[in-house]
Amino acid sequence: MKKLFALLAFAGVANIAVAAEVVGDAKAAANKVSMCIGCHAIPGYKATFPEVYQVPMIGGQSEKYIVSALHAYKKGDRNHPSMRGIAASMSDQDIADVAAYYSQQK
């Protein structure tokens, strides 16, 4: 039983270490941001689904904030159908890359 707990503890630590190794690559995001540009790159753009609202410009936002927001959409902690669907389709590496890309924009 002790060996099982030790193995589970090691697996948990190894999983945390792997998650910590995800580093965003802004250049790799060049092919990933096409789904973002349609809304987030248009000054003053207002979306109409599921209701009319001002779409935020994300260029220049903190990388950490974008990662956090996308993970919250992916988990359902943030409620927006379009963003949830997009975030759900992204891997942790995709999220890190897109966040790196937009954090470098002005």
* CATH code of the domain containing 84: 1.10.760.10
Structural domain contains residue 3: no
Instruction: Decide if pLDDT at 74 tops 90.
Output: yes
Rounded to 5 degrees, what angle do the CA atoms 70, 35, 15 make? Answer: 35
Give the Cα separation of 98 and 67 in Å (integer): 8
User: Which residues have CB under 8 Å from 11's CB, separation 6+?
Assistant: none
When divided into structural domains, the chain yields a total of 1
| Residue 92 located in a structural domain | yes
pTM of the complete model: 0.75
Confidence of residue 84 (pLDDT cuts 50, 70, 90): very high
Domain that holds residue 70: 29-104
18-55 confidence digits (pLDDT tens)? 556 899 999 999 999 998 998 898 888 888 777 788 88
pLDDT at 73 over 90: yes
SS3 105: coil
Mean pLDDT of the chain: 86
